Structure 1
Amino acid sequence: MSPSRRRSPAQPDALPLAQALTALTQRLSEGLAEGHAELLELVTPTTAELLHHWFGAEAVAARGNLNFHTGQRQALLNTVVAHEVLGAPSLPALYGRLELPAPLDLRPTHPKYCLKMATGTGKTWVLQALLVWQLLNKTDALTDGRDDPRFTRRFLVVAPGLIVYERLLDAFCGKRLPGSPTGARDFASADLARYAELFLPEARREAALAFVRHNVCRKEEIGLKTTGNGVLALCNWHALAEGEDSAPEDDTHAPEAPAHEVAQAVLPVAPGRATGNSLEVLDRRYARGNVLEHLASLPDLLVFNDEAHHIHELRREGEATEVEWQKSLTRIAAGKGRRFVQIDFSATPYNDVGSGKHKRKVFFSHIVTDFDLKSAMRAGLVKSLVLDRRQEVGALPLTFKAERDDDGNPCLSSGQRTMLRAGLHKLRKLEADFARVETERRPKMLVVCEDTRVTPLVGQFLTVEGGLRDDEVMSVDSGKKAELGEKEWAQVRERLFDVDRRAAPRVIVSVLMLREGFDVNNICVIVPLRASAAQILLEQTIGRGLRLMWREPEYDELKRENRERIAQGQEPGNLLDILSVIEHPAFQSFYDDLMDDGLAGVSSDDSDATASTGDLMPVGLRPGFEAFDFAIPFIVQEADEHLHHAPLDIQTLPPFAGRTLAELQTLLGKGDRFISQDLQSGTLFGDYRVDGEVMSVSGYNDYLARLTRRIGQALGQPLPKGNKVASRVALPYLQLHTAELTGWLDDYIWQRLFATEFNPLADENWRVLLLQPVLDHLTKVFALALAEAVRAEPVGQTDVRERRLSEVTRLLVRESASVAVSKCIYSRLPYPTHSGGLERRFIHWAQADAAVLAFCKLSETRHTFARLRYVREDGMGAFYSPDFLVRTAQAIYWVETKAQQQLRHPDVVRKQAAALAWCERVNALPPEMRSELPWHYVLLGEDTAQAGQAQGGRLAQVLEAERLRPRPQAEHQGALW
């Protein structure tokens, strides 16, 4: 791309609703991570609990990489604000409450929202999170005896076709069990079960998962299956349509029907197989009518429409028409008012209007959030797009449509053949390069044809001229489905959705059946043979290859460099998570728009000399690695070990700082509900809720009990089940007599919390303890105090398990950011390309020092067991990995290298204390349990390292001089044992 390319004129403001709602939501959610956003005061306590769990800083940090990304977060918050905070009973009312002029053609009389999210950015997770939000709120309302029309326990999830329907079954019911004759599914593989830690607070998981597991109705069960208090129905829209038993879902070619079929279509329906109207078919048609009647009879319903761009159709500008899908929804919604809610999901919620220079997009009027393809590309959440502009492709005449031979039969044009050859060339290069790094990474090519008559021609070309085997080419279209029958099609479908893990097929050929819902990760090459210039079809086609293939953190740096190069108009340096599209002139305007924003690049003939994986190279164990291996001892359990705490001196603990008690009481809100109160003890019973609360409790005693459990969870890490040594560090669970801790908490609250005597039972003062800042203070103060007061009394022998670095048999390193070494189990060690100078110097220093017998740079992503646990400054437990392990003849060292300005960071200090405590505990073991050497911890600052090297000092001497020495027990802040 030329840097001087002129940008196209900006489009007019097309999404005013989404923009206004996003601005409002961002203002209301300021401080949400810290727990003091205005939004938390405007939603129900149940929603506030969910928002704390989803977006609270503490919860987000605890889950690591398992969190909602920016686009998902905005979609969830915008929907909550629109539906719960603004509470508009209809779409026109929502425009009014945001003080926006409503479009003239708005007809819905119910709440209606469209979430515009790019393909591959996790729309299904947002759908399930919103379902959880509705389910928990409705459950709590029913428990309280309230009728809140905003929430429901009745859901309908509608897909445009069978491919998306199958994906939804996978998400809600789990993957199909291989070989099961009944099509049984493994619920443990369902999204809500696998990622329950993200979707649901722990106390809510069992009930919510039980609801999903027992209330799902497949399309053939709707209205027939008996469920509990609620329903979760899944279907494709054809199950809602009145009329034909089946409808073409995907393909553009519909040959003219023979005369006898036309006659049968208009004659009265009569049973009998000869007429194509068997009793089974008639029964299914009757049942379909019952499905609509059943859904229409429900008192409330929330409908999630997946890939909802199919719902709407614009024949000409200003005149909207409803398709059958929307007509069915309109019938179901009749009479429900605001108790019918429609939430649409689509990456392309618009219609193409006009033609030629006057062609433009008309977006749906109910879009409430916008996370488009460009935003997803900038965030690295989808593959980067690169156009293959080979010389022969650039010279193609515009013959991308299949031709006809002398007999009138279709045949591939020369342009189509050239594009297929270019795609195969790219695919083979990717296969060869990827295999050198990861043998199980199998790139695939997708060919999208113009109609079903062309797919067999493409398959024949790929096998005859392309040299592929028959099993390496898979053709998928609705005609194929009709030929095979349901049982055979189920096998094809299973093979299709498992292509990421299979060597074959290598190429998938389809018309439009796979334009959505085909959610695999390994599509790396797309050949669009369609001649249609409809942009929505192009976006849907490209969407099939956008999902990330290389998701591990070790590849992030290479992918980030690619995005930077593309933004600067350069070719990418590698093809990791690059989607190569064989360029088609009909879509040039779409490509130009992305390139103008620095989001799409080009690939020329010169790219053949560039490795698809850049300078990434695998490094395995060297011959004789045993001499340089490290055996890390982990104390699984000490026989009859007793952990106890010295009594806490409440008066030495710091009081709450910041707001005064009077200021805190103003944060509680108004209109609190009281259920009952024991006049003798003053203890509150029943459900007691206040605005701004962190947890729902039934009284002060219940609060103390929950706070005790919370602090215990912050300090403890359960052991793995059975005798298996965990893949991460296994630490003894911190035992504490809960009654004793509860007593200390009670004394502290009465005597010390607010630096004066505080009676939590007088005038309901205890309610301030529910506020997030107070709860955080209590957790932090007691977690740190208890960690410092821990005492251990081991009795008998200790059970020690060893984990060896050589368990990780291979690392992936960049040749340009790694150093060849000889005293390590690997032949090369990596260092960060950004701010990695200190680590690179350390590797050279260790390699040059004869006193260093062995060393290794630890990989956070591979050596996951070589981690130490510590207590963060906020009182929560966390893990971290030191940078190096070094062995000399005298000792073994954990080494953490740090820039000078970071040495006194509070968390760095706590890591030191935890590592020192670990070393002391291990050094108390018999020598044969710790490689016959003592273990030490070194925090090596940049100034110390530079001074040592400048003076010609030996690394072994510097490590011995800088190692941490044992301190008195009272100074072990941050240690967990």
Structure 2
Amino acid sequence: MSVLTTETFPLADGLFLRINDDRLAIEAGVPNDFIGQVTPTTAELLRWWFQEDYRTIRQANFHSGQRDAILAIVYAHEVLGTTSVLDLYEKVAPEALLGDGILGEVSAERHGHPKYAAKMATGTGKTWVLNALLIWQHLNNRANPADERFSSNFLIVAPGLIVYDRLLDSFQGKLVNGNREFATSDIYAQRELFVPPTYEKSLFAFLQSSVVTKKEIGSKVTGGGMVAITNWHLLTGAEDPDFVDEEEDDVEAPGADIDAAEAINSFFPLTPGTASGNSLDVLDRRYLRGGPLQSLIDLPDLVVFNDEAHHIHSLKKGEEQTEVEWQKSLSAIAEPKGRRFVQFDFSATPYNETGTGAKKGKKYFPHIVTDFPLFAAMQQGLVKALTLDKRKEVATLPLDFSVDRDENNVIIGLSEGQRTMIRAGLKKLQILERSFEETDPSKHPKLLIMTEDTKVSPFVIEFLMECGLSEDDVLQVDSGRKADLGLKEWEPVREKLFDIDHRVAPKVIVSVLMLREGFDVNNICVIVPLRSSQSGILLEQTIGRGLRLMWRGDEAIEDQKRETRELIRAHKEPNSFFDVLFIVEHPAFEAFYKELLDGGYAVVVDGDSDSTSPTGDIEVVPLRDGWPEYDFEIPIVLRDAEDELKSPSIDPLTLPVSKFPLADLLPTIGSGERFSSNDLQTGTQYGDYRVDGGVMTATGYNDYLSRITTRITEAIGRTFVATQQQYNSMSKYPIMQTHKAIIAGWIDRYIRKRLFGQVFDPFEDENWRVLLVGDVSAEIAGTFSTALVEAQESLQVSDAVVETRSTSEVTSIKVRASTAVEVTKCIFPKLRVAARSGGLERLFIEWADIDSKVEALIKIDEYAHLFLRRPYLKADGMPAQYSPDFLVRTENAIYIVETKAQSAISDENVKRKKRAALAWVDQINELAPDLRSERDWYYVLLGEETVKSWRDKGARASELLAQARIAHTESAAQPTMF
């Protein structure tokens, strides 16, 4: 199985194409070029790791993401003999060097040695890949020390103490009575996977004698190589911080300038006037600080593994490239070694964030050679399924997710939005506790609440106590907490934190931090993010804290989990919540997941489809030969006229009564806030639950009036203008804005006296909540928007200006080869049709194309043919743009065609689109014949059943168009304001 992503990783794509066929051969155990070009030691390892004969005789195996990472790196380094990042680009993806800034980036000194980055989702076993690559390097170096591609000197760099301790566990074993037992190390425990039996004895002897802790680097003597493990602070000269002491700035700005005082201390160990700074212990430690770095520089060869490598790379500040301090140390270590220095980077988020706001983006590391994204891991069941618990926007108002502050910006408490989120998290936790207790009482789901500031944590703790939790149920973990307790009292808290999987209490962990890399407990099942940060790296790290599987090895549970994934994909209610991670709604996270979903984060391909191109079956279709014969010229009527507008006048008591009876609405609102779960892969919505104590204040109705008035007035102002310049000009005289108070009064009177055909008191029993039901609000907005538009009398004072545009301005389109329709009477030889629900469009194109009366046709590309979009007001009063489906030309007419499912013909928005199109057609037909291709223009709205019926009876498409055409508007044309 291989994963193809929409992100552009030239090296990963190029290597995948080169090794895919050989990978299948390795698994099958048949001869192939890959095995034939590596050393005998490597060939033996690859067969042991991936050949199906060996995989079937053991329980643990590498999954597809781990396998692809190992193969890509081994191929790039050993088969291609890569000497630098630039060298690898020239061999695998030379065309990518033509991209913006790529050549300059990969030619930099810091990329002047073999360097590979593995992008792997959190919880998918990066450490196992690291172990395998270390074994591959060591065994090859032992077999042939003269081969400069391999080394037995290793430096493994962790981002903090938690990952550092985890790596020591992996290589030395876990602490038992103060000593590390090698038998509990990852490599020994999984020896059936990692190493063939013939190499076990020598490898284990090497690891037991050669692992060096950070305190021993530069002082411990080993024979035959070393495995040095440290956290990155050692290479910067900084004191080792505990992971909970790292403030947010340490996370988000690793390239920040070093403090001047710290810089002086790094050069001058003696600090005048500082007693502790002059102690012998401190002076000795500072003097010997250069020892570890110098010892690494003096090594003849070295392989560096950077775990969680997003902490290390260069950031862009303005036009200046800066490097984090410990990456400079790595460059100093690499400089004398040339290609005998090799760097492997592992990260789920191997990118730096660039820009802010709408221009915010990601700059990925240029040396990514393999990609195993989150969606692939989710689809294979390697991590928890991801679900966003969203508050239902029924009978609710938008909530504030930031803390409440006074006029001096001092935090005074939690906002109502934050309280609602916490209540929802607790409710979901209770649901999971009941669910799991029946199956396995030893499993204890946990809730993680992440606050935006250390000063917020006490307010969260206080609120949890108000909700009925005890002190034992809640564990506060942040730097402020440690300072309050002191080091001695903090250790039991820390021990409890990392043993929460096996404890009933605490149930809730509160932290100002992400409990970032290394906090790899399994039982985090609900996350409530109260942080306001918009950092993509922080968001991805947040979900990483809860992704690790809670349930492993139990076949009955595995069957349930597989069934859960299948049910969710089928948009059905799952029958269990095993290994599902719930994140309670937060605006920053919702946007993050939308980007993840809309971008098509990953596609999984297996079986015979493994040879699929990384770009799928996307094909670029250019203009066909002789395309002018099939081109369309569209007259665009520009109205740069100045309008004189009169004040609006509306009698609310004459407006239409709601089609929603009040008696039917009242039972739906209930009380409190409603939440439901939404699966992030499929969008399946399930598991509704209600949280009491939401926003239920008397000010709610007034807030509603303000919001809906603003919505209506701004919508009208933006609807009927073609350009931003026109809107800016119009905004100088905001007619609607100046009458905003009057309009709010009309809306209030309409709601109280007319909306439901009876007197309505919004304050009685919180009845105003019915106005927040989506359809009711949309109806009110639509009613008033239409009335206000029609109330405007405008006086045209200038003539129209006509501009002619052509469909051939779009010189190429992208289609999927498997679903595209071949045509003869179009400027393009193929037209795009949706893979799903595209049957009617395909039918119409094929039918019209064979009609001899049809001279030309084209399917309008709504993203390319922007000049064919028409503005209109939706039924909810909001502005929108409408793009018809087709243009069809016959001898005497040009048809603007919209095809719809029969059930959608009567939809209110479809009717509004039709009115906008009819007004456009009328406008065109008023022009001189030479400005409209000497033809009359018509709008045609075709239902699916009508098209199929006429086609099946042998009629022509042109006959249906002529019969179904709408020559003029059925009612008064929708007036324009400007």
Same fold at TM > 0.5: yes
Query: Which residue number corresponds to residue 154 of structure 1?
Result: 153
Q: Does 1:71 align with 2:65?
A: yes
Q: 1:57 deviation in Å?
A: 1.5
The amino acid that maps onto 1:356 is G
> Residues 499, 84 of structure 1: CA spacing in aligned structure 2 closer, same or farther, 3 A cutoff?
same
Q: 1:424 deviation in Å?
A: 0.9
Check whether the contact 1:526–1:582 (CA below 8 A) recurs between aligned residues: yes
> Which of the numbers 233, 247, 266 marks the counterpart of 1:251?
247
User: 1:779-794 to 2 correspondence within 5 Å?
Assistant: none
TM-score, normalised on structure 2?
0.57
Q: Distance in 2 between matches of 1:263 and 1:322?
A: 20
User: 1:345-744 to 2 correspondence within 5 Å?
Assistant: 345-391=346-392, 395=396, 397-405=398-406, 408-462=410-464, 464-481=465-482, 489-551=490-552, 552-596=554-598, 599-600=680-681, 606-608=687-689
Check whether the contact 2:571–2:684 (CA below 8 A) recurs between aligned residues: no
Residue 32 of structure 1 aligns to a residue in which SS? helix
Q: 1:56 deviation in Å?
A: 1.5
- Give the alignment's Cα RMSD to 1 decimal: 2.8
Q: Distance in 1 between matches of 2:379 and 2:370?
A: 17
> Residues 456, 205 of structure 1: CA spacing in aligned structure 2 closer, same or farther, 3 A cutoff?
farther
Q: 1:330 deviation in Å?
A: 0.9
The amino acid that maps onto 1:76 is I
Query: Which residue number corresponds to residue 111 of structure 1?
Result: 114
Check whether the contact 1:272–1:279 (CA below 8 A) recurs between aligned residues: no
> Residues 27, 490 of structure 1: CA spacing in aligned structure 2 closer, same or farther, 3 A cutoff?
farther
Q: 1:573 deviation in Å?
A: 3.3
Q: Distance in 2 between matches of 1:489 and 1:344?
A: 33
The amino acid that maps onto 1:20 is G
Q: 1:246 deviation in Å?
A: 4.8
Check whether the contact 2:121–2:348 (CA below 8 A) recurs between aligned residues: yes
Q: 1:395 deviation in Å?
A: 4.1
The amino acid that maps onto 1:426 is K
Q: Does 1:20 align with 2:14?
A: yes
> Residues 452, 394 of structure 1: CA spacing in aligned structure 2 closer, same or farther, 3 A cutoff?
farther
Q: 1:334 deviation in Å?
A: 1.4
Q: 1:151 deviation in Å?
A: 0.6
TM-score, normalised on structure 1?
0.57
Q: Distance in 2 between matches of 1:528 and 1:300?
A: 44
User: 1:156-195 to 2 correspondence within 5 Å?
Assistant: 156-177=155-176, 180=177, 183-195=178-190
The amino acid that maps onto 1:82 is A
Residue 343 of structure 2 aligns to a residue in which SS? strand
Q: Distance in 1 between matches of 2:308 and 2:394?
A: 33
The amino acid that maps onto 1:592 is K
Query: Which residue number corresponds to residue 132 of structure 1?
Result: 135
Q: Distance in 2 between matches of 1:541 and 1:415?
A: 20
Q: Distance in 1 between matches of 2:261 and 2:88?
A: 50
Check whether the contact 1:387–1:602 (CA below 8 A) recurs between aligned residues: no
Query: Which residue number corresponds to residue 622 of structure 2?
Result: none
> Residues 503, 280 of structure 1: CA spacing in aligned structure 2 closer, same or farther, 3 A cutoff?
farther
Q: Distance in 2 between matches of 1:283 and 1:460?
A: 46
Q: Distance in 1 between matches of 2:115 and 2:202?
A: 28
Residue 74 of structure 1 aligns to a residue in which SS? helix
Q: Does 1:239 align with 2:240?
A: no
Q: 1:79 deviation in Å?
A: 0.7
Q: Distance in 1 between matches of 2:182 and 2:234?
A: 24
Check whether the contact 1:531–1:586 (CA below 8 A) recurs between aligned residues: yes
Q: Distance in 1 between matches of 2:248 and 2:365?
A: 24
Q: 1:443 deviation in Å?
A: 0.6
Share of identical aligned residues, percent? 53
The amino acid that maps onto 1:576 is F
The amino acid that maps onto 1:159 is A
Q: Does 1:211 align with 2:206?
A: yes
Query: Which residue number corresponds to residue 59 of structure 1?
Result: 54
Residue 162 of structure 2 aligns to a residue in which SS? helix
The amino acid that maps onto 1:125 is W
The amino acid that maps onto 2:112 is T
Check whether the contact 1:550–1:576 (CA below 8 A) recurs between aligned residues: yes
Q: Deviations over 1:809-862 (max 9, x none)?
A: xxxxxxxxxxxxxxxxxxxxxxxxxxxxxxxxxxxxxxxxxxxxxxxxxxxxxx
Q: 1:21 deviation in Å?
A: 0.8
Q: Deviations over 1:694-750 (max 9, x none)?
A: xxxxxxxxxxxxxxxxxxxxxxxxxxxxxxxxxxxxxxxxxxxxxxxxxxxxxxxxx
Query: Which residue number corresponds to residue 282 of structure 1?
Result: 283
Q: Distance in 2 between matches of 1:14 and 1:218?
A: 38
Residue 374 of structure 1 aligns to a residue in which SS? helix
Deviates more, 1:596-605 or 1:498-507: 596-605
> Residues 81, 427 of structure 1: CA spacing in aligned structure 2 closer, same or farther, 3 A cutoff?
same
Q: 1:252 deviation in Å?
A: 2.1
Residue 345 of structure 2 aligns to a residue in which SS? strand
Residue 151 of structure 1 aligns to a residue in which SS? coil
Q: 1:265 deviation in Å?
A: 9.1
Deviates more, 1:525-534 or 1:278-287: 278-287
Check whether the contact 1:313–1:321 (CA below 8 A) recurs between aligned residues: yes
Flag structure 2 segments of 5+ consecutive residues without an equivalent: 251-258, 601-678, 691-978
Residue 516 of structure 1 aligns to a residue in which SS? coil
Q: Does 1:292 align with 2:293?
A: yes
Residue 31 of structure 1 aligns to a residue in which SS? helix
Q: Distance in 1 between matches of 2:487 and 2:151?
A: 35
The amino acid that maps onto 2:133 is L
Q: Distance in 2 between matches of 1:443 and 1:398?
A: 27
Q: Distance in 2 between matches of 1:262 and 1:593?
A: 40
> Residues 266, 149 of structure 1: CA spacing in aligned structure 2 closer, same or farther, 3 A cutoff?
closer
Q: Deviations over 1:605-630 (max 9, x none)?
A: 85459xxxxxxxxxxxxxxxxxxxxx
Check whether the contact 1:118–1:376 (CA below 8 A) recurs between aligned residues: yes
Q: Does 1:123 align with 2:119?
A: no
The amino acid that maps onto 1:129 is A
The amino acid that maps onto 2:341 is F
Q: Deviations over 1:904-961 (max 9, x none)?
A: xxxxxxxxxxxxxxxxxxxxxxxxxxxxxxxxxxxxxxxxxxxxxxxxxxxxxxxxxx
Q: Distance in 1 between matches of 2:261 and 2:190?
A: 54
Check whether the contact 1:17–1:95 (CA below 8 A) recurs between aligned residues: yes
Q: 1:29 deviation in Å?
A: 2.5
Q: 1:50 deviation in Å?
A: 0.6
Check whether the contact 1:18–1:370 (CA below 8 A) recurs between aligned residues: yes
Q: Distance in 2 between matches of 1:265 and 1:223?
A: 23
Check whether the contact 2:411–2:455 (CA below 8 A) recurs between aligned residues: no
Q: Distance in 2 between matches of 1:14 and 1:318?
A: 23
The amino acid that maps onto 1:389 is K
Check whether the contact 2:568–2:684 (CA below 8 A) recurs between aligned residues: no
Query: Which residue number corresponds to residue 310 of structure 1?
Result: 311
Deviates more, 1:113-122 or 1:98-107: 98-107
Deviates more, 1:590-599 or 1:408-417: 590-599
Q: Distance in 2 between matches of 1:465 and 1:536?
A: 33
Q: Deviations over 1:266-322 (max 9, x none)?
A: 797437874555332333333332111111111111000000011124335875321
Check whether the contact 1:572–1:601 (CA below 8 A) recurs between aligned residues: no
Flag structure 1 segments of 5+ consecutive residues without an equivalent: 1-9, 255-260, 610-977
Q: 1:27 deviation in Å?
A: 2.7
> Residues 561, 233 of structure 1: CA spacing in aligned structure 2 closer, same or farther, 3 A cutoff?
same
Check whether the contact 1:253–1:451 (CA below 8 A) recurs between aligned residues: no
Check whether the contact 1:156–1:232 (CA below 8 A) recurs between aligned residues: yes
Check whether the contact 1:405–1:411 (CA below 8 A) recurs between aligned residues: no
Query: Which residue number corresponds to residue 925 of structure 1?
Result: none
> Residues 393, 32 of structure 1: CA spacing in aligned structure 2 closer, same or farther, 3 A cutoff?
farther
Residue 302 of structure 1 aligns to a residue in which SS? strand
Q: 1:535 deviation in Å?
A: 1.7
